[in-house]
Amino acid sequence: MSTILLEMTRSRRRALRRSPRTRGRRTAELDLDGAQRRHRPVLASELVDVLDPKAGQTAVDCTFGDGGHARLVAERLGAAGALVAVDRDPLAEERFAAFAAGAACSTRFIRAGFAEALELLSSEGLRANIAYFDLGMSSMQVDTRERGFSYSYDAPLDMRMDPGQELSARELLADWDERRLARALRDFGEERHAAAIARAIVRRRTQEPIETTLELVDVINAAIPAPARFAGGHPARRVFQALRIAVNDELDQLDRALPLAWKSLRAEGVLAGIAFHSLEDRRLKRFLGDRARGCICPPELPFCVCGREPEATLITRRAIAPSAEEIARNPRASSARLRAARKLASGQVR
């Protein structure tokens, strides 16, 4: 540990400084092995089943991560196929290099937010057979403790998927006013005690900056009623989810990316998404459901005047959840939900 600390910059060390409240509770600070750990692809066989990749097709993996899903898809695409991989994390780009060296199909990596990457691909006129999203964080991100995604280890409050972006969780907590903080905790974390936690954050930062994950956990614990600290999971879970979503602008990215991914698909192409919380799952469900809806005339009209026809058929009428075996093997998969739809050729109504 001491060698690692010696190698850190002064500012890094300051960010890791323990507050009096966290002293004595710090677990290992940096997990350099974390970055080496493999991400277990979630709902992998289910995703490949709904995508049904075929030789010679083109696929866009919008969230490459460790390439777990991409490997399975690439095998099916074969030498005549192509896979475009997107991720905003430089660690994913490093993993892509190893993937590309052994990939069965031709490959390309775009390091960008998936909304920007899909805009680029659309401007290039890409026509894909498959596009998919595996949303949220990768295990590589959570387990690289210094990136501050987890409330389980003390680390600088960072949470940026793209370390090049300016806004980190620490800056957000230092700069956002109380109302904006409370709204983010409510909207992105569905946190019941959002107002009290936002008030406590603002009060604490007037005394000293909140710089580490465990300092924030202390503020949350002190702000919520005692029974809430022991009910239903870790008391900081929702706040950390909210901060991560806010820092990475995750919902806005998804709202912009879904129509672009849909537009990039050829007829009979498939769009699929794996979501890990209801805010994402609702967006996927609504987006795909809207594509699959035909006439929207009021029921009292005797005939259709809107002329709207479905653009899609739903492959998953209900979201697919992981099996009990998968959850036992990989508890992080437990909240995953997969949805998918197939694009219809225009005029082809089912």
Integer Cα distance of 242 and 190 in angstroms: 8
39, 204, 244, 339: which one contacts ligand SAM (CB under 6 A)?
39
> Quick check: 87 binds ligand SAM (CB under 6 A)?
yes
**Contact (Cβ atoms closer than 8 angstroms) between residue 89 and residue 60:** no
> Quick check: 142 binds ligand SAM (CB under 6 A)?
no
Single out the segment in contact with ligand SAM by CB under 6 A; choices: 51-59, 83-91, 121-129, 323-331. Answer: 83-91
Nearer to ligand SAM, 113 or 273 (CB): 113
Single out the segment in contact with ligand SAM by CB under 6 A; choices: 12-20, 80-88, 123-131, 226-234. Answer: 80-88
> Quick check: 107 binds ligand SAM (CB under 6 A)?
no
Integer Cα distance of 340 and 224 in angstroms: 39
Integer Cα distance of 176 and 167 in angstroms: 11
- Give the nearest distance from C-beta 296 to ligand SAM in angstroms: 30
Integer Cα distance of 300 and 164 in angstroms: 55
Encoding tokens for residue 150? 């987890």
Window 55 to 74, contacts with ligand SAM (CB under 6 A):
63, 65-69
Window 118 to 137, contacts with ligand SAM (CB under 6 A):
134, 136
Residue 61 gets the label, from left (phi > 0), alpha (psi -120 to 50) or beta, of beta
Core vs surface per residue 2-39: b (16+ CB within 10 A) or e: eeeeeebeeeeeebbeebeebeeeeeebbbeebbeeeb
Residue 312 gets the label, from left (phi > 0), alpha (psi -120 to 50) or beta, of beta
Window 149 to 208, contacts with ligand SAM (CB under 6 A):
161
59, 60, 83, 86: which one contacts ligand SAM (CB under 6 A)?
86
51, 60, 77, 88: which one contacts ligand SAM (CB under 6 A)?
88
Q: Is residue 267 helix, strand or coil?
A: strand
> Quick check: 89 binds ligand SAM (CB under 6 A)?
yes
Nearer to ligand SAM, 68 or 269 (CB): 68
Which residues bind to ligand SAM, rule: CB under 6 A? Answer: 39, 41, 63, 65-69, 86-89, 92, 113-114, 134, 136, 138, 161, 250, 253
